[in-house]
Structures are given as structure tokens and as C-alpha cells.
Chains A and B, each alone.
Chain A
């Protein structure tokens, strides 16, 4: 045991011990420990919300852990911000670009840490930027990466893959020993992925260490040396890649016992109430078609980026798809804008209540009635306060929103209650069809089960529900049928009997 610990320490460049991290409403990481060895590619896997990105942000200095400690090359490691992490040799390459769009590749690579030289022919304290040295170093870096790129190209003109390369190159200008790649292949073509892997292998041979976060298990088996699986904020296991197979990984990612939290009743499912045909939107949605029946709860599972939200918004008219055909109750419906869709009886509850669902600084009254202004206003648009109050109270009670005072400012409600307000907003429309996008994200257990109860009651009342969720137990517990999406397409359909966490995740990955 002691010998193993010593071995671990000798090889490990980064260790993480018993790290906790808590956000309002959710415990993101619980007692996570792992280590990264020199010259290894260490994959970190887990479902949406397992805590992978949180962990990486802690390592790279975006925020500190609540508890726990880290060491770097054997010394205690604390970090105050990402720039600090950079200078200590740790660089993170995000999915979303942190580049400056109007500046060139070269300028981006060295922003904030330009190479300086003396302005005089000899050493002096008067320094200016040394473009020559930067260019040389940049060329060097790209050569080592095996890439050719125009250093003077403006970043906004580059494709996603090239931008990522620039970010990696930027990390290397810090001589980073540790690189963290967060879902690097999410937007790449298979050729670009190959190039990326070649780069990673090169870096590995130079003795650098990499943390590779990904859902894509085939990639993990291609490129990683070891893999750690996170689930619900905990570290489940770490293993050599050669010692595991796909099924094992999936079971680790998923392996939890399903307690009977879900009040699902098996209802009589009616006729087809909505038919969606041929939804296309560039690369995001590729010819999606499906049917929805009365009283049915249809789940749409898949990973982040699979296109589920885009699908929902395209159907509702919130975005402009290239093509989308809807048949509601047998009648063709042309999708134009969300107002018309709402009037036709389809409501969408967004996954990001703070940015899209609610106007946080305003009151319950305002928020809950925002989609049904027509119901509470007269011909010239004046609001009837008693009608407004009635609707607010009705739905606040129905969803047990506390406090239910109409003048209460939504910003001050708990996450769970805020989510309920978001739901109430759409319920006020009294829709036939409700599309819920991650309805229990960031919501505590109590509110979560209440929301599930509400959903089941809605189905009982004859409404049809489309439930988009990354929470597998939720999908399994609530849905009559599940569509699995991947990369903009529907890759599978499972009936309630066929449902299992492993199956869904397998299809989604």
C-alpha cells in the first residue's frame, strides 16, 4: 500500500484529493480524488451534469474548491485565476472559444504574455514586443503540432477545428505541462479528429500530460491511457483503458439503483395528436420526424449538443429552421413565430430559466402571465389586475410555488420555485402539448419530485408532453417512449419496456 502510494507520487504531476464543490441548489462534486501521471492521456467520462467540467474549472482556476486539496509536481497547488494557472503550467482548452475574434492567430496566442526584448541593442529595462521571437516560437509550436496555419489569419475567419488548434497552440506557448481538453471533438469532422489525435500523441511523446473530457467512448479507447468515470459528482472508478471495455464504462457511468421516486401511472395513450416531419436546420438538425400521442410522455434523450433544444425551438417557431412540417390534430400547421404556436396550443419551457425563461427582476404576476397577456388584457391592452391575480394564484397553487404572493420578485425565489414559475408560465397557456427542456436541472430533490408529479398529472388530464432530459433516471421513470438523439439525428426509439439506462446511454454516445 505504501509502496503504491510512493509510486503514484513519483509519476503523478497532478493530484486531486477529496475535492467538494457546491453551487446553489446542487452539489456538483463530492469527495473527488484522482491523479494525472506524466506523459499520459487521462480521459474523464460521465453523463451531463456528472461534474466533469466543474472539476476542470477548479483545476484551471476558474473557481476554488469548497474542500479538498491539490498538488502539482508534488507541491501543494492553489490557483487564483486562469492566468495564474497558465503561469503554473496548466492550460484548459474550452469548447467555447476564448479567443479574440478580430485579432490574428499570432496575436491571440501571445495576448497577455507577449515575448519582450530590450528596445536598445543591449539589455535594458525598456522593453518592447518582440514580434520576431513570437513568430518563431509560434511556428515552432505549430510545427511540433504537425500543423500548418497562417499566423496572420484573423481568428474569426477560421473554422472550429482551426480555432481549437490555435487554443492548443496558445496553451503550448505557456509551455504548459498539463493540458485539459474539454469535449474537444464535439464540433469536429472525423478528419479533423484524426489530426487532433495525432497532435495529442505528439504532445504525449514530449512528456506532457492531458486530461481528456469526453462522452465519446470510442475516442476514449483510441487515445486515452487511463480513464476516470464520474457520476453524480462522485468519482466512481479509475482504470487503465486496456483493462476495461465499453459496457463496463457505461455501467459505471450509469450504475445506480432506481428508487421509486416517480409517480408514473400507466395511462391510456390516445391518438396521434402531433406529427413532426422533416425538420432540417443546417448541420444541427437532419431530417427529424416523429409522432406524439394524447396523454403520452415522450422523452428525448441524448447528450448536450445532440440537437434536442434546437429541435424543440425549431418546432415552436423560436428559431428559423430550413424546413419543418407540423400536423396538429390532422391539420397542417405552418410554423411562423412562437406567438402563433402558443395560440395553437404548443408551449415550450426553456432549459435556461435565467436567460430565457424568466425576467428575474420582475414579479410573479408579471412572469406567470407573460405568455397569456391576451387573456388578462382588454381590447386596448390594459391589464385587469384581478384576472392577473387569479391566473397567478391558480397556477402558483397548482404548482405549490412558495411564497405565492403575486408581488414577490422572482429573483429571490429558490431555484426549484423559479423553475416552477417557468413551468407555470407555460401552463397558463393551457396548451395541448408541452415541451419541457431539462425541467429539473438545478432543482433540489423536493421540488424535483413535485415537478414530476405535476407532469404526470398533466398527462392524466389529457395533455401530451415532450420531455427533453439528460437525467437518465428521470427519463426512465417518467416516459412512455423515448427517442434518442445524436448529432442532430434520431438514432433510436425505445418503448417503456425496452428502456434501460445502459441502452439509452449507449445509443446517445
Chain B
């Protein structure tokens, strides 16, 4: 069964004030973000010259491997006007499942499969509820966020899982060609694939279409239910993958892992120029946003600033970017005009 047109109008958002599609390269949101990234690197480098060393810079990409992987999926979701608040806890649950399986079976393949399966299940659960009920994704993932967190705590008790074999840890510790962190490679590969489908595929325009005006997409014969289910499932899978990468890097799974990740992932995506309201999005922006967060994190740690200052700063950054974004986009005025038109001219359909 295809998606059916819903009762009541779906409000459109994000009217563009430009006439044509803006293809300008040097002044786009992403370009400016990139300049900010460079500026940030310079600033940190001045404060702590070791920052300019390539090894150090590359480490910045390694520490945000997990965030970046999840952020890619999150970009898809936010493009549709939805959100997944619980990615960090999905990751946490997957990581803990991995730990538990390792403790009892010592079968690496099984552990990996279990972790991935957990991530996927979490994503499917979200996707089903979002696509099949009218509950807003906001509320759904707020609830499942607590659910997954709770489940991870139930499963783990207070144990921290660790002691994973070195062979597993190479999943994150390998450096290609001796210097390139493998997490960065994962990130780039996932980015490349998802970006390809986002920019050049019908998927991308359907996602943005759903974000702008889901009814119109349904009326084009597109099965929006299936798409929504798909992107939440994909994100769940990415959470599972990210869990593995995290475990490879830090080799410990405990019940506070995911606490700040949700927020970092959302910040990365929104920084990158994807609108929280949907319709407008950029995978490339997300990538730059992720790198920026990595640089920030690395820089702060080099300057011996506590993790709390980092969180505080990131929070401010998120708020500022939300505000700036709102100022940047014009609201869709046409919709309000339509509201004022008489009943004859605008009979609510379905």
C-alpha cells in the first residue's frame, strides 16, 4: 500500500528568496563554514603550535569518527523535517550488547553481528512508529531515547565492558599509509556514498520534498512511508557501525557513553546548513560540521580545557547556529497568503 494523502494540510516551510537555484560556490553556507573551520585551525595553531602538525590534525578527524558516521544518517532524517534524538543511546546499547556478547562468547563475528543488529532494530522501531503513526518524530525519538538508554543500563548493570582483542581494535587504530586514521576513511566512504544518493539520486530530492511538502510528494506517487522507514533504519545501522568504531578506539563500553553524542551529532548537522525544519540540507555541510567539531574537540583537549567547557561551547555554538539559520531563511509567506484566501478558492482537499 502506498502512502495516502493525510487529512489536513502539511505546512510548508523554508521559502527561498532566490529566483534560481544558488550554485555559487564561494559564498554558500558550506563555504563559509569551511572558512570558519580554517580560521579555527589557525586560531588553535597559534595558541598551541603543535596543532599545525598533520598528525595532530588528522587525530581530530579520528576522534569524531562515530559522530560523523551517525551524522550522515541524521542529515537524511533532518532533511525530511524529522529528527532522531536518541542516536547516542542507540550506539550505547549496541556497544553494550557487543560487550555482553564478548563476555559470554568471545566470538568476534557474533559480537559484531549482534551490535549491528541492535542498531538496526533500534532504527526500525523508530522508523515504524514515525511512518505508521501520526506521532511526531520529535516525540517518538524522545521516548525511544530514554528507552534505549534504559535498556542499555538494564543490560549492562554497572559493569564497564572492555578487554577487546587487539585484532578487533584495529578496526579503529589502523592508519592507512601509516598516517591516515581509518575512521576518517570510513567517514569519507560513507559520506561519499550517502552524498552521491543525496545530491544525484532521486532519494535526495524526495527527502527534501518531504521536508518541504510531504503531501505533494505523496501526490507524485512516491511511497513516503517506505522512505521514512528506510532512513531511520539506515541511521540505526550507522549507529551500530559507529558503536564498533567507538569500541575500537576506546575499547570500553559503559552506560554514559552516549550522553553527549546526540547533541554533538545534531549540532554537526545543523551547523552544516541542514535546516531543522527540513527541505534544505547538505551532506557536505555535515561533513565540514563534523570536522569542525573534531577540531574543536582536539583543540580544547590540547589546551587542557575540560570536557565540560567543550560541551558548554558546543551548546552555545548550536544555539547561535539555530538563530543564524532562522535569520538566513525567509519564512514561506505564500502559505500565509493562502490562508487568507476565501473558502471558494481554497477548499481543503481530502
- Report A's interface with B, CB cutoff 8 A: 23-24, 26, 28, 48-54, 56-57, 62-63, 94-96, 182-183, 304-305, 309-310, 313, 317-320, 336-342, 348, 350-352, 354-363, 366, 370-371, 373, 376-377, 380-383, 405, 407-409, 411-412, 425, 441-442
Contacts and interface: CB of A to CB of B under 8 A. Distances in A.
Contact of A351 (B19, B222, B337, B347): B347
Contacts of A341: 221
Given A361-B15, A409-B16, A318 B218 contact: yes
B1 to A, nearest CB: 6
Interface in B324-344: 332, 334-335, 337-338, 340-344
Given A361-B16, A362-B205, A409-B19, A352 B218 contact: no
Interface of B: 1-5, 9-10, 12, 14-16, 18-21, 23, 196-197, 200-203, 205-206, 208-209, 212-213, 215-223, 279, 332, 334-335, 337-338, 340-350
Nearest to B10: A355
Given A309-B350, A339-B2, A382-B202, 13 more contacts: A313-B5, A337-B4, A342-B221, A355-B338, A356-B5, A356-B219, A362-B209, A370-B209, A377-B202, A382-B197, A408-B20, A408-B21, A441-B345
B346 A412 contact: no
A300 to B, nearest CB: 15
A52 B16 CA distance: 33
A340 B18 CA distance: 36
Nearest to B206: A373
Nearest to B215: A356
Minimum-distance CB pairs A-B, first 8? A337-B2, A53-B342, A370-B220, A339-B221, A407-B21, A373-B202, A338-B221, A54-B342
A356 B334 contact: no
Contact of A338 (B219, B340, B346): B219
Contact of A318 (B5, B197, B335, B341): B5
Contact of B348 (A96, A183, A361, A382): A96
Contacts of A51: 342
Nearest to A355: B9
A425 B205 contact: no
Given A337-B1, A354-B334, A94 B219 contact: no
Nearest to A338: B221
B220 A412 contact: no
Given A96-B348, A304-B344, A359 B221 contact: no
Binding site secondary structure of chain B: loop
B20 A409 contact: yes
Nearest to A340: B2
B186 to A, nearest CB: 21
A409 B221 contact: no
Contact of A371 (B23, B221, B334, B344): B221
B344 A52 contact: yes
18 contacts: A57-B342, A96-B343, A304-B344, A304-B347, A309-B349, A310-B350, A339-B222, A350-B349, A355-B12, A359-B213, A361-B212, A363-B20, A370-B205, A370-B216, A370-B222, A371-B221, A383-B202, A411-B16
B200 A382 contact: yes
Given A339-B222, A442-B345, A360 B340 contact: no
Given A62-B340, A94-B343, A361-B332, A356 B349 contact: yes
B213 to A, nearest CB: 5
Contacts of A373: 202, 206, 222
Contact of B279 (A340, A356, A361): A361
A377 B222 CA distance: 14
Nearest to A63: B340
Contact of B343 (A95, A337, A411): A95
Nearest to A23: B341
A352 B343 contact: no
Given A362-B209, A371-B221, A338 B350 contact: no
Contact of B342 (A28, A309, A352, A380): A28
Contacts of A339: 2, 221-223
A338 B218 contact: yes
A440 to B, nearest CB: 12
Contacts of B219: 318, 338, 348, 350, 356-357
Contacts of B205: 362, 366, 370, 383
A366 B219 CA distance: 14
Nearest to A186: B343
A407 B20 contact: yes
Given A49-B344, A411-B16, A360 B334 contact: yes
Nearest to A412: B19
B201 A382 contact: yes
B20 A405 contact: yes
Contacts of A352: 346-347, 349
A383 to B, nearest CB: 6
A54 B217 CA distance: 30
A183 B343 CA distance: 10
Given A23-B341, A381-B203, A408-B20, A336 B2 contact: yes
Nearest to A371: B220
Contacts of B221: 337-339, 341-342, 371
A412 B201 CA distance: 25
Contacts of B3: 337
A291 B346 CA distance: 29
A412 to B, nearest CB: 5
A352 B344 CA distance: 12
A355 B344 contact: no
